[in-house]
Structure 1
Amino acid sequence: MLPGRTRPRVRASLPRLLPLLLLGALLAGCGAPPPDTAGAEVRRAVADWSRTPPAPLAGIPLEEWSYAAGSVRREGARALVRARLRYRLAGYDTAPEEAAREVELRRDGGSWRVTGDRPAPGALPRLWDQGPVAVAEGRHSLVLGGAGQTPEALRGIAAEADRAVPAAGAAWPGPWAGRVVVLVPGSLDAMAGLLGHPADTYRGLGAVTTGRVGAGPAPADRVVVNPEGYAGLGAEGRRIVLTHEVTHVATRTATTATTPLWLSEGFADWAAYRGTAAEPARAAPALARAVRRGELPGALPRTEDFAFGGDPEASARAYEGAWLACRLIAEKWGERALTDLYARAGREPLDSALRSTLGTDTEGLTREWRESLRDGLR
């Protein structure tokens, strides 16, 4: 009932008032919604909190660290924020690394306070999500250790990485940063969690390399050490594993989707064995056994032959065969021809790159390679 009017007069006025009421409602609906003051407060709280890296990262040389808050979901005095973390390791990353995060806040008195920070649903964790991070710095390396890693173990890996960087640089004449970031999780399961695959995928491996291929600014590649596999290696095995992985870092900008995997993996092994007296039959035992059984491969290793988690004997034959293909190229055509082939194979079809650098094609190289296996592995 309208104030100050009797019921009959109200009824008589409704037909005239209705269009005005509807117009007012429509105008109100077309206007800007009321500001989301709570959401703005939550985002501001995240921005204020993110100015300081969390305690588990103490000692890590960070050049950039920021959270960009996105959607906010409130549940009473609790709020969840989807955010994009951007961070850069000083002296190593030429572009920020990014991670999807979920930040939890609670209203404390009249303000919002961050109470949790974790990977967003479906996103991979970072090393510090698994506990405090220890740091060892070498001349050419930054080694970050997960929960349970000792300073002594990390210093040993930094020393090995410092030897691997010059070895990779001597094998690869192309431009690269000449330094490497090594992550050492606390366990094989922790490594699998960081990389998003089952632990069996990496069982028996010493290390893997992550990163984007191709030219352009990018976060530094990360060499991720399998602490169980690496611990089981001798001094020579550790040297070969880290030089192989650092070579992947060195050749990243020249590596593209067109680079054959046999060339990428074979070149990394060639760099690791370069300058040593490694005999093919001793350094390629799985392939040597196959050749002695009369199972000479008919073609250069295919991409699927290198798959993690498959038949370990078949995978070993693929890596060994790739190494021996690159070794053959370096010995028959020269090291410069091998590095030129690598650079061209990332820009043009393989046969075109082979003709330009070696004067042959895939069929001709395969024939030479098979002959070298038959003669060298018996």
Structure 2
Amino acid sequence: MHPVRRARRLPPLLTGVLCVLLASCAPAPAPRPDAAEREVRRAVADWSAAPPARLAGIPLEGWSYEVDSVRRDGVRALVRARLRYRLAGYDPAPTGSARDVELTRDGPAWKVTADRPAPGAPPQLWDQGEPAVVRGTASLVLGVGQSAGTLAAVGREADRAVPAVAAAWPGPWARRVVVLVPGSLDAMAALLGRPADTYRGMGAVTTGETGRGPAPADRIVVNPEGYQGLSEAGRRIVLTHESAHVATRAATSAKTPQWLSEGFADWVAYRGSALTPAEAAPTLTRAVRRGELPGALPDGAAFAFGGDPEGLGRAYEGAWLACRLIADRWGEPALRTLYERAGREPLPTALEAALGVDLPTLTRDWRAALRDRLR
């Protein structure tokens, strides 16, 4: 039994000194905004009480600008704020971005004269122009600088992708996707805050936060240049792949190996396809036929955007064939179980529980499958 420790009472003088010291260490209260700042804040609140009229076709709710700071210089003011909103029926939690709002005093009142992304913050799609909206049965497509026909075609492909993903991943997910179609590759890169070369040649990417719990938003962002260059089958595969990332987002974490997350998304996209492995994996097939059989499953660096296109192709194709092997040999439920477990526990533990094998055994079997199917 542990002895009971009694608290010793401090002498009154020491107690008083301690109280003074603690008070001097406490953070100073934030200065209260003066009357002019309160007027600026009120003007921003009034101005942002509802979305702009040009966004009327977008199902926005919870639209607000939360003011973080105010800087005034005479009759001008700069407000740093955070835009918050949800796409009703699509976003489980609010999303948004940092904004700079400029105001000018107009007589006795303040008037908003500009609203733009804060430095370092990516723009919203509507910062690039007035968005057009296409609503599908399972999709919401927002586009800028695109024809109505193009957006409708994207919506049809997304509507086909969602049930295909639901059949492969029957667990709980929204079964709806939001697709953004900007006007160019440069506009896409701006939305994502990365250089355009990062996405050159790609059809689309998915944004969102991994991990369990409510994520603010998942968006499939189309590269209009890369997407238009694809065949009809290629567009279907791209949107199904990206929709699979949306579906599995809650089960994905930093623990999930990238070969598993990307391979699973491609497995979903090619599931039921009549293509042979050699037809669906041409880059890796050429490498294997040259005698360049990979020695290990692709690591995270192999999937880096903007790298060697041939290496990137081999990584995606190898990951897909690993997931196809698992589904064929151990069954589709085992592949789904592996995915779910790999997001919350070490891969060796997940492999043993889901498949009853270790990583060296899986790697050996995968390499043998590459030799058999791609030569």
**TM-score, structure 1 length as denominator?**
0.90
User: Which position in structure 2 is the counterpart of 1:210?
Assistant: 207
Shift of 1:69: 1.3
Task: Summarize the alignment of residues 1-378 of structure 1 with structure 2, pairs less than 5 Å apart.
Answer: 36-146=34-144, 148-378=145-375
Shift of 1:135: 0.3
Shift of 1:34: 8.2
> Which residue identity is paired with 1:276?
S
> Which residue identity is paired with 2:87?
L
Cα contact 1:180–1:220 (8 A) shared by 2? no
Shift of 1:35: 5.7
SS in 2 for 1:175: coil
> Which residue identity is paired with 1:298?
G
SS in 2 for 1:99: strand
Shift of 1:33: 7.5
Once residues 367 and 78 of structure 1 are traced to their aligned partners in structure 2, the CA distance between those partners, rounded to angstroms, is 67
Shift of 1:98: 2.2
Rg comparison, structure with higher value: 1
Shift of 1:173: 2.1
The percentage of counterpart residues that share the same residue type is 73
Shift of 1:159: 0.6
Once residues 216 and 281 of structure 1 are traced to their aligned partners in structure 2, the CA distance between those partners, rounded to angstroms, is 39
Change (3 A) 1:33 1:357: closer
Once residues 76 and 136 of structure 1 are traced to their aligned partners in structure 2, the CA distance between those partners, rounded to angstroms, is 45
CA displacement, residues 191-249 of structure 1 (integer Å, 9 cap, x when unaligned): 00010111010000000000000111122310000000000011100000000000000
Once residues 129 and 351 of structure 2 are traced to their aligned partners in structure 1, the CA distance between those partners, rounded to angstroms, is 48
> Which residue identity is paired with 1:264?
S
> Which residue identity is paired with 2:251?
A
> Which residue identity is paired with 1:158?
G
Runs of 4+ in 1 over 3 A off after TM superposition: 32-35
Once residues 61 and 79 of structure 2 are traced to their aligned partners in structure 1, the CA distance between those partners, rounded to angstroms, is 24
CA displacement, residues 287-340 of structure 1 (integer Å, 9 cap, x when unaligned): 000000100000001100011101000000000000000000000110011001
Once residues 373 and 309 of structure 1 are traced to their aligned partners in structure 2, the CA distance between those partners, rounded to angstroms, is 26
Change (3 A) 1:139 1:108: same
Once residues 104 and 34 of structure 1 are traced to their aligned partners in structure 2, the CA distance between those partners, rounded to angstroms, is 21
SS in 1 for 2:179: strand
> Which residue identity is paired with 1:332?
R
SS in 2 for 1:236: helix
Shift of 1:56: 3.6
Shift of 1:55: 3.5
Once residues 308 and 237 of structure 2 are traced to their aligned partners in structure 1, the CA distance between those partners, rounded to angstroms, is 22
Residues 107-116 or 55-64, more deviating: 55-64
Once residues 323 and 42 of structure 2 are traced to their aligned partners in structure 1, the CA distance between those partners, rounded to angstroms, is 55
Change (3 A) 1:163 1:35: closer
Once residues 254 and 341 of structure 1 are traced to their aligned partners in structure 2, the CA distance between those partners, rounded to angstroms, is 11
> Which residue identity is paired with 1:159?
R
SS in 2 for 1:251: helix
Change (3 A) 1:219 1:33: closer
Cα contact 1:56–1:131 (8 A) shared by 2? no
Once residues 69 and 334 of structure 2 are traced to their aligned partners in structure 1, the CA distance between those partners, rounded to angstroms, is 53
> Which residue identity is paired with 1:201?
T
> Which residue identity is paired with 2:37?
G
CA displacement, residues 147-169 of structure 1 (integer Å, 9 cap, x when unaligned): x1111111110110000000011
SS in 1 for 2:67: strand
> Which residue identity is paired with 2:330?
W
Shift of 1:52: 1.9
> Which residue identity is paired with 1:270?
W
Shift of 1:68: 1.0
Question: Structure 1 regions of 5+ residues with no counterpart?
Answer: 1-29
Once residues 340 and 51 of structure 2 are traced to their aligned partners in structure 1, the CA distance between those partners, rounded to angstroms, is 39
Aligned residues between the structures:
348
Provide the aligned C-alpha RMSD in A: 1.5
SS in 1 for 2:353: helix
Once residues 252 and 98 of structure 1 are traced to their aligned partners in structure 2, the CA distance between those partners, rounded to angstroms, is 19
